[in-house]
């Protein structure tokens, strides 16, 4: 069973749909909104019946129904509104993480926990600290959104499929993320060698501003792309695929950073994070990553001690 906490919210229910569509497992949607997860589960079960998928969705307002889940995906919490940054959600969502960590500890103590709630690196840190699970089992989401976004914008410039691009965005999910065009590649060539500096600057800006652009256009934040990314992470763990994805990981010396969470490439398999990969960086890239990781640290330092 894969549980989604926040399962009646936009990203939560879309994630439930993606898990079913990829035929990964049954899905438990848990949410504090009365009746809403049950209603979403019913609709998802009808979708599965239409498509002939033999997985079930369940909905509940009771955390104990996550019992037995090997993966718990956390999408619960407040989304930002137009004009807000993700960082503005720090305190309110840290409270939500703290509450949910208690429940996961009690009902799914052996699970791998994927955290998407914003600001996602800081929320992954709170979840990690409050759960006390090994770091391999507490994994933050967003690299699998920021990097494919970079691939998308580059693919438009190059008029090729985004699937042909291996994009790299490191550090923080937020205003200070670090897109790395030299480390991103197309057919073995660095992306930076295939586009002009002006085009590179443009796609980097589009990537950083992508989330805000969606909110500006439609009034609420993304759901389709993040849900797809979460499903890929869950799939890699569930099927022990050992695929390399950029994820938010607790660093204990990797890249020279300690006691902080940042987006880095990692191998995902049955144990969660099987290995963190350390990319060789130029001096300039090192500075860019430092600035990004320092922005995560600033957020963590702004959290009262009970969240750390």
Ligand X SMILES: O=C(O)C[C@H](O)C(=O)O
Ligand Y SMILES: NC(=O)c1ccc[n+]([C@@H]2O[C@H](COP(=O)([O-])OP(=O)(O)OC[C@H]3O[C@@H](n4cnc5c(N)ncnc54)[C@H](O)[C@@H]3O)[C@@H](O)[C@H]2O)c1
297 marked ligand binding residue: no
* Interface with ligand X (CB under 6 A), residue from 211, 229, 272, 288: 211
Query: Is 46 a residue of the active site?
Result: no
CB of 206 to ligand X, least distance (A): 12
Q: Which does 45 bind (CB under 5 to 8 A by kind): ligand X, ligand Y, none?
A: none
Would you say 268 and 229 are in contact if contact means Cβ atoms under 8 Å apart? no
Distant-in-sequence contacts of 208-216, Cβ < 8 A, 24+ apart: 208/175, 208/177, 208/179, 210/146, 210/149, 211/86, 212/82, 215/80, 215/81, 215/82, 216/82
Residue 222 binds ligand X (CB under 6 A): yes
Residue 214 burial (CB < 10 Å; 0-12/13-18/19+)?
middle
Where along the sequence are the contacts to ligand Y (CB under 6 A)?
A: 5-6, 8-12, 30-33, 75-80, 89, 93, 96, 99-100, 116-118, 120, 141-142, 145, 173, 221-223, 226
Q: Which two tokens stand for residue 117?
A: 């709630």
CB of 208 to ligand X, least distance (A): 9
Binding mask of the shown chain, residues 129 to 148, with x at each position contacting ligand X by CB under 6 A: ----------------x---
Question: Which segment (105-113, 211-219, 234-242, 255-263) binds ligand X by CB under 6 A?
Answer: 211-219
Residue 112 binds ligand X (CB under 6 A): no
By beta-carbon proximity to ligand Y, the closer residue of 76 and 194 is: 76
Would you say 115 and 136 are in contact if contact means Cβ atoms under 8 Å apart? no
CA atoms within 13 A on the CB side of 275: 9
288 marked ligand binding residue: no
By beta-carbon proximity to ligand Y, the closer residue of 11 and 28 is: 11
- Distance CA(121)–CA(141), nearest Å, equals 8
Cis peptide leading into residue 119 (ω within 30°): yes
Residue 80 binds ligand X (CB under 6 A): yes
Catalytic one among 112, 129, 130, 173? 173
86 marked ligand binding residue: yes
Could you give phi then psi for residue 141, rounded to 5 degrees?
-100, 150
CB of 252 to ligand X, least distance (A): 26
Q: Which two tokens stand for residue 149?
A: 């976004």
Look-up of token digits 């976004």: 149
By beta-carbon proximity to ligand Y, the closer residue of 45 and 120 is: 120
- Give the footprint of ligand X on this chain (CB under 6 A): 79-80, 86, 118, 145, 211-212, 214, 221-222
- Binding-site positions read 6-12, 31, 80, 86, 93, 118, 149
């Amino acid at each position: 069973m894969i549980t989604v906490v926040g399962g009646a919210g936009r990203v939560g229910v879309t994630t439930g749909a993606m898990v079913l569509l990829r035929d990964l497992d049954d899905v438990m949607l848990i949410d504090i909104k009365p009746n809403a997860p049950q209603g979403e589960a019913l609709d998802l079960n009808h979708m599965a019946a239409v498509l002939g998928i033999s997985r079930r969705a369940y909905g509940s307002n009771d955390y104990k129904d996550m019992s037995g889940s090997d993966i718990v995906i956390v999408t619960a919490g407040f989304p930002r509104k137009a004009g807000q940054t993700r960082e503005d959600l720090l305190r309110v969502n840290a409270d939500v993480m703290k509450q949910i960590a208690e429940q996961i500890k009690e009902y799914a103590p052996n699970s791998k926990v994927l955290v998407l709630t914003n600001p996602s690196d800081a929320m992954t840190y709170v979840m990690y600290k409050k759960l006390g699970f090994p770091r391999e089992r507490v994994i933050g989401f967003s690299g699998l959104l920021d990097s494919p976004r970079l691939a998308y914008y580059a693919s438009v410039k190059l008029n090729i499929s985004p699937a042909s691009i291996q994009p790299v965005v490191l550090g923080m999910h937020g205003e200070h993320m670090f897109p790395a065009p030299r480390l991103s590649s197309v057919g073995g060539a660095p992306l930076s060698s295939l586009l002009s500096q002006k085009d590179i600057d443009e796609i980097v800006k589009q990537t950083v501003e992508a989330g805000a652009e969606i909110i500006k256009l439609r009034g609420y934040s993304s759901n389709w792309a993040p849900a797809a990314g979460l499903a890929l992470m869950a799939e890699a763990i569930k099927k022990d695929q050992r695929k390399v994805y950029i994820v938010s990981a607790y660093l204990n010396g990797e890249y020279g950073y300690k006691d902080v969470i940042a987006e880095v490439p990692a191998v995902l398999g049955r144990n969660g994070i099987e290995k963190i990969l350390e990319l060789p960086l130029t001096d300039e890239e090192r500075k860019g990553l430092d600035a990004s990781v320092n922005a995560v640290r600033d957020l963590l330092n702004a959290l009262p001690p009970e969240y750390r």
